[in-house]
Amino acid sequence: MNKKGVLLVNLGTPDSPSTADVRKYLDEFLMDERVIDINPVMRTMLVKGVIVPFRSPKSAKLYKEIWSETTGSPLLHYSLLQQELLQKQLGSDYHVELAMRYQSPSIESALKNLKQAQVESIRIVPLFPHYASASSGSVLQKVMELVSKWQTIPNISFVNSFHDNELMIKVFAENAEKYKPETYDHILFSFHGLPQRQLIKSDHSGRHCLKSDNCCATLTNDNKFCYSAQCHHTARLIADQLSLPADKYTVCFQSRLGKDPWVQPYTSVVIDELAKKGMKRLLVFCPAFVADCLETVYEVTVEYGDEFKKLGGEHVQLVESLNDHPLWIDALEGLVKG
Ligand SMILES: C=CC1=C(C)c2cc3[nH]c(cc4nc(cc5[nH]c(cc1n2)c(C)c5CCC(=O)O)C(CCC(=O)O)=C4C)c(C)c3C=C
Ligand SMILES: [Fe+2]
Ligand SMILES: [Fe+2]
């Protein structure tokens, strides 16, 4: 019997924390037309002329801080563990591959392995709980570009988003419980940011995105593919699971790049405001990521932690990501079989 193929795809990480490898990674990532979605000539000038030359040495320093001598980039390490554990759990009827949208292991090589294994179908699982053109959309476009050239195209299906996955919500809540959320002054749900123009472009109704202050407060037919509305929904589900009152938590967005407005409120602004209000201890969830990475272990723990302390705060505690939690592997099994 032919096996069923599974392709897990995360964002990508440099091959090493050297400036040259970070430059290669940022160049491939930021030249993607779904990531910096502006006129191609402007994108080339901005990315190759400004962002990559200035950002690469700075980012390389940060990557060096989180790089493990034995396991390298945390994002790749946890993604490989997720692949291994899912393969074990699904058994020999399945062939599970892992790819990164940018750099290695590439989507090309993972698809080649699936083709060689003569799989009868491919289930594509972008490892992003919330749909964004810049993340899941880009993964799906790349896979379709490559597979469309095959002589025989197997059955293909993909997961668009899983922002309300019950097991995922449970793992985030469980991971937080050991820190006793009730002992913190405030809880943040800090999601990866996105330029506002990308939200507006995804609003096919033309009635929803950024048309009112609370356009993301509920998930409706009009905004069900809105990245921000999906993020708010995930936060509400985790907060409900932990019985957090609405005034005890804030949804915010981190990792802004460039001068254009991104989805708000910005995490750094919220942290400043909370410190100025005299809050001392913050617990921070990063539910846009299924594995710990630069944006969680460095940006939240170190950068936001230092910023908070400078303004009188005492402690910023990150709730670890889904990583290799057994219930998350169960969740992945459900996404594959669903
Ligand atoms: C969760 C999904 C992600 C979306 C959506 C996303 C959009 C997006 N990101 C940038 C710019 C950068 N992101 C960087 C790192 C990074 N981004 C994600 C995920 C999403 N990005 C992850 C998982 C990571 C961490 C990778 C790792 O190796 O640990 C970086 C690189 C790091 C840095 O230099 O700060 C940049 C740059 C844009 C512009 C964007 C949408 C338009
Ligand atoms: Fe990013
Ligand atoms: Fe929206």
236 and 114 co-located in one domain:
no
Give one DSSP letter per residue of 27-80, joined into a string: HHHHT-TTTS-S-HHHHHHHIIIIIHHHHHHHHHHHHHHH-BTTTB-HHHHHHH
pLDDT in tens, 24-53: 999 999 999 999 999 999 999 999 999 999
Report whether 314 contacts 71 (CB < 8 A).
Answer: no
pLDDT in tens, 118-131: 999 999 999 999 99
Residue 255 in this model has a pLDDT that exceeds 90: no
CA torsion 318-324-328-332 (nearest 10°) is 130
User: What residues form DSSP beta bridges with 4?
Assistant: 94, 121
Average pLDDT over residues 221-235: 93
111 and 180 co-located in one domain:
no
8 and 62 co-located in one domain:
yes
151 and 39 co-located in one domain:
yes
CATH number at residue 285: 3.40.50.1400
Q: 199 C-alpha to center of ligand 3: Å?
A: 6
Q: 223 C-alpha to center of ligand 3: Å?
A: 6
214 and 280 co-located in one domain:
yes
Q: Is position 295 annotated in a ligand binding site?
A: yes
Give percent of the chain above pLDDT 90.
Answer: 91
| Residue 129 Cα: closest atom of ligand 1 | 1
ipTM: 0.95
Q: How many domains does the chain have?
A: 2
Res 216: pLDDT = 85
113 and 64 co-located in one domain:
yes
What beta strand segments (E) does the chain contain?
A: 4-12, 94-102, 121-126, 155-158, 186-192, 249-254, 281-285, 315-318
Res 1: pLDDT = 81
pLDDT in tens, 126-183: 999 999 999 999 999 999 999 999 999 999 999 999 999 999 999 999 999 999 999 9
Average pLDDT over residues 60-75: 97
297 lines ligand 1 (CB under 6 A): no
247 and 155 co-located in one domain:
no
Structural domain boundaries enclosing 247:
166-318
Q: What is the chain's mean pLDDT, rounded?
A: 96
122 and 53 co-located in one domain:
yes
